[in-house]
A and B are shown apart, each in its own frame.
Chain A
Amino acid sequence: MIRVSGLTKDYGARRAIDNLTFDANQGEIVGFLGPNGAGKTTTMRILTGYMPPSAGSASVAGYDVVSESLEVRKRVGYLPETVPLYTDMTVFDYLKFMADLRHLPNAENTVYETLAMVKLEDRAAGYISNLSKGMRQRVGLAQALLHRPEVLILDEPTIGLDPAQIIEVRNVIREIGRERTVLLSTHILSEAQQLCDRVLIINNGKIVAEDTPLALQSRLQGGQAHLLRVRGDADRAAEAIRTVKGVASVTRLDDGSLEFRQQAERDPRPEVARAVVNAGLELLELRAAGLSLEEIFLQLTREEPVPAQEA
């Protein structure tokens, strides 16, 4: 549905995106994760036909974004990051206007149906200037959904929403993502984790990692890590664990708990537990310590080692 190959965009001397290659299939929700200025918005603008790339090619729904831009634009729903809206129009008038531009049959009904999808039916007659940020976001989303596009491109779709609205919008996106292709950008990592089938991590215009949220997590860990808490002398516990077969390393954390990494293929947890007890200590907690996507993200996008705790 979305095929991107070697996509590059220069703004003057600055390279915003550099040789991006990825694709997204039907029924897939792909997350674009990266810090500000990483090139997420630029990529999305190219895919929606707003600007052409400097090099490389991209196709959406089978049409080239440069030479068949109009066909692409018919099939894409786009929510820009800044959610630009005509504040001097009512919600209904604005969506009716956009529906007319897309030549939708039965435009009025479609507008009401779409408003129901984003739970904004009761605001149809209200002026956009009187809406809260969250409601405007949903008007923008409704605009992107009006023509039930094959491909939905959402730039930071849940920014500025309250938690209840975030859940609603995510449900809408998940619903759409069942049959259609969704590409969304976010810097909320838990969002990518919860929503996306696949995550592309982008930094400085380059894709630094691409995988399912789950696989990304385990790929980076370099062996599974576990967290252990004991009552009593943690150093003694560390001594005891270190001797267990299959334990690669043990580190003592600031809060007094221990973290140990296992060697591949061998689960040392039962023996670790036994070792702790044999050392005369009480085992309080033993659990998997997966890296959060946040940590993955930092590891992947870090350009230099983070300096040790600034004063």
Chain B
Amino acid sequence: MRNIWTIAKREYALYFNSPLAYTVMLIILSITGIIFALNIWFLATQGATGGGFAPDSGMVTGLWWVYLFTVPTLTMRLVADEQRMGTIEILLTAPLREFELVAGKWLGAFLFMFTTILFTFVFVILLNRLASPGIDQVQMLSGYMGLILFVASLLALGTGISALFSNQFAAFFATLFLFIVLWFLIGAPADIMPNGGELFRYLSMGTHFNAFQSGAVALTNIVYFLSLIALGLFVGTTSIETRRWR
């Protein structure tokens, strides 16, 4: 555990030294801000004409696509760069388990994204002030929980894929491809199959993410994302372990 923390601390600090990571943070926060402002403006005009929309924190926590497309830029480097620079030789000859290395990398990236997500809370507070009698707090918490689990699983998968490559751009495209499959493609058979499509619907990330956003947290949704995190960390660990034997 201590080693995981040591690795995570270094990665976390490194993100704050990296222009790329700042850019990603800026992109996420400005897109969230723009969408928030548009929503408020829309609600205000609707309200004037008596539309009666309830303000919903999902406008902040439901922006899956912002994360889907930015997470690969944060994870592509994590293990791939160690392999390219040869620093993996130092890490693997230190008393450090492969799992600790991968989990530490993931945790460092997660803490960075967690920091970013924390900033979005400003919008939720604003929304709560604007709306009367305030927003649905249960839905807000469930939305955040879903977003955090979703991002954590994206980061774990990205970390795992990064360990398969020593070229970070190869890792980037492979990660992005996997995300697109998991969000857009894997659920598609469920829509055309007359029956038995449940498995595909279950595998699709959207199913679970949207459940959280609607405020309905079920154990299966939590298990789904935790399984993806475990899978990502397992792939990363195994990849580094087998690299020793190659």
Q: Tell whether A and B belong to one assembly.
A: yes
Interface residues of A (CB under 8 A from B): 45, 48-52, 70, 73-74, 76, 78, 80, 82, 84-86, 88-89, 97-98, 100-103, 143
Tell me the complex Cα distance, A45–B245, Å. Answer: 12
Task: State how many angstroms separate the Cβ of A162 from the closest Cβ of chain B.
Answer: 24
Name 17 A/B residue pairs within 8 A (Cβ), A-sorted.
A45-B89, A50-B93, A52-B244, A73-B95, A73-B96, A78-B90, A80-B89, A84-B86, A84-B87, A84-B88, A86-B87, A88-B14, A100-B2, A101-B3, A101-B6, A101-B91, A101-B95
* Top 9 A-B pairs, shortest CB-CB distance: A84-B86, A48-B93, A84-B87, A100-B6, A73-B95, A74-B95, A78-B93, A101-B94, A80-B89
Residues of B contacting A45 with CB < 8 Å? 89
Pairwise interchain contact A98-B93, C-beta atoms closer than 8 A? no
Pairwise interchain contact A84-B90, C-beta atoms closer than 8 A? yes
Known: A84-B89, A97-B10, A101-B7. 10 other contacts (CB 8 A): A45-B89, A48-B93, A51-B245, A73-B94, A73-B95, A84-B88, A89-B10, A100-B6, A101-B96, A103-B2
B118 beta carbon closer than 8 Å to chain A = no
Pairwise interchain contact B6-A50, C-beta atoms closer than 8 A? no
B contact residues, total (Cβ < 8 Å): 22
Residues of A contacting B86 with CB < 8 Å? 80, 82, 84
Residues of B contacting A82 with CB < 8 Å? 86, 89
Pairwise interchain contact A50-B92, C-beta atoms closer than 8 A? yes
Pairwise interchain contact B89-A102, C-beta atoms closer than 8 A? no
Residue among A74, A78, A101 with the most chain B CB within 10 A? A101
Residues of B contacting A100 with CB < 8 Å? 2, 6
Q: Which of B40-99 contact A (CB under 8 A)?
A: 85-97
The chain A residue with its CB closest to the CB of B244 is A51
Pairwise interchain contact A73-B87, C-beta atoms closer than 8 A? no
B17 beta carbon closer than 8 Å to chain A = yes
Pairwise interchain contact B94-A98, C-beta atoms closer than 8 A? yes
Residues of B contacting A74 with CB < 8 Å? 95
Partner of B94, one of A85, A88, A102: A102
Tell me the complex Cα distance, A78–B14, Å. Answer: 25
Tell me the complex Cα distance, A70–B3, Å. Answer: 13
Residue among A50, A70, A85 with the most chain B CB within 10 A? A50
Tell me the complex Cα distance, A103–B244, Å. Answer: 24
Tell me the complex Cα distance, A82–B83, Å. Answer: 13
Pairwise interchain contact B90-A98, C-beta atoms closer than 8 A? yes
Pairwise interchain contact B85-A50, C-beta atoms closer than 8 A? no
Tell me the complex Cα distance, A49–B244, Å. Answer: 9
Pairwise interchain contact A50-B89, C-beta atoms closer than 8 A? yes
Task: State how many angstroms separate the Cβ of A166 from the closest Cβ of chain B.
Answer: 23
Pairwise interchain contact B94-A50, C-beta atoms closer than 8 A? no
With A50-B244, A51-B245 as known contacts, state yes or no: A84 contacts B96, CB within 8 Å.
Answer: no
Task: State how many angstroms separate the Cβ of B4 from the closest Cβ of chain A.
Answer: 11
Tell me the complex Cα distance, A76–B90, Å. Answer: 12
Pairwise interchain contact B6-A85, C-beta atoms closer than 8 A? no
Pairwise interchain contact A84-B85, C-beta atoms closer than 8 A? yes
Tell me the complex Cα distance, A226–B192, Å. Answer: 94
Partner of B6, one of A73, A76, A86, A97: A97
Partner of A80, one of B7, B90, B96, B97: B90
Pairwise interchain contact B93-A143, C-beta atoms closer than 8 A? no
Residues of A contacting B85 with CB < 8 Å? 84, 86
Residues of A contacting B87 with CB < 8 Å? 84-86
Task: State how many angstroms separate the Cβ of B236 from the closest Cβ of chain A.
Answer: 18
Pairwise interchain contact A73-B244, C-beta atoms closer than 8 A? no
Task: State how many angstroms separate the Cβ of A179 from the closest Cβ of chain B.
Answer: 21
